[in-house]
Amino acid sequence: MSNYSNLDRFYFSSDTFSLINKYTGSTFIIKYGGSAMKDKSVQLNVIQDISLLYLLGIRIVLVHGGGYLINNWLSKLNIEPKFNQGLRVTDAQTMEVVEMVLSGNINKQIVSLFNQNNIAAVGLSGKDANLITAFPLFSDSNNFTGKVDSINNKILCTLLDNQFCPVVGSVATDSAGQTYNINADTLASSIAVSMKADKLILITDTPGLLYNVHDKSTLIKELNLNKINHLKSNGIITDGMIPKIDCCVDALINDVPQVHIIDGRVRYSLLYEILTYSRIGSMLVA
């Protein structure tokens, strides 16, 4: 990790060109979230790197979260954020804020950044064209945190086939029209499975999986399902990392070949992870 953290440019090599050739025409589902979204310059850098992959011929669907901004708005409204098993508890008031932030503020901000990079992006939520239907994740009827029920990926395929980049906010609805807040990691995993994606990439605010969360040098660069189970049983994977890893595992057991976790705060981290063999984050395989 330390070899990359201070780099201010990305160098193309013969390996890079071979990997570009390998991935051209592939489908990547990229989830962007965490505090890697807080800094405007970091956000611009991340979208520039995604735009480059798109221009190299990789079909990309971007799924975004926005927890930090949701919490900011909840604080302004004197609503205390609550979490259960690493997932947000979404009462009716919180749901209104979640939809405002995800479908409005953040979604359109990301679309605008893509447009500035000459990428024709289209902002969506799960409500558009019945892209995502959901059902309650918890038994509490006042908790509108949901789980993906079904994905109608026709609109995503249509957009990609016509050279548009879909940008999806993690809000969905059930058959009765009730709005639900979906964990963005989980949604990205479900879309990756539905689209038969070649990769699921989680751009977040952690270097990847670490043996010691306080020591970046303990990064685990590659691990399989057996290793993941071992780390969970030994308390290495804990707290908020559990739902993130669970969605990665779900993608892997449903035939998504590779899942990557990278730190979006590191300049060019996406390019170093995808377009070099040495990589910079954690890669999970079945």
The answer to whether 67 is annotated as binding is: yes
Comparing C-alpha atoms, which of 281, 264, 273, 274 is closest to residue 41?
Answer: 264
Do 212 and 276 form a contact (C-beta atoms < 8 A)?
no
pTM above 0.85, yes or no: yes
Per DSSP, the residues of 179-239 read: EEEE-HHHHHHHHHHHTT-SEEEEEESS-S-BSSTT-GGGB--EE-HHHHHHHHHTTSS-T
pLDDT at 6: 52
For the segment 249-283, what is each residue's pLDDT rounded down to a tens digit?
Answer: 999 999 999 999 999 999 999 999 999 999 999 99
The answer to whether 126 is annotated as binding is: no
pLDDT at 12: 85
The answer to whether 66 is annotated as binding is: yes
Q: Crossing angle, helix 67-76 and helix 92-99, to 10 degrees?
A: 120
Hey, what domains does the chain have and what are their CATH numbers? 25-285 (3.40.1160.10)
**CA-CA distance, 186 to 15, in Å (whole number)?**
32
The answer to whether 123 is annotated as binding is: no
**CA-CA distance, 66 to 35, in Å (whole number)?**
9
- Spans of the chain, pLDDT less than 70: 1-7
Please give the backbone phi and psi of residue 66, each rounded to the nearest 5 degrees, phi first: 165, 30
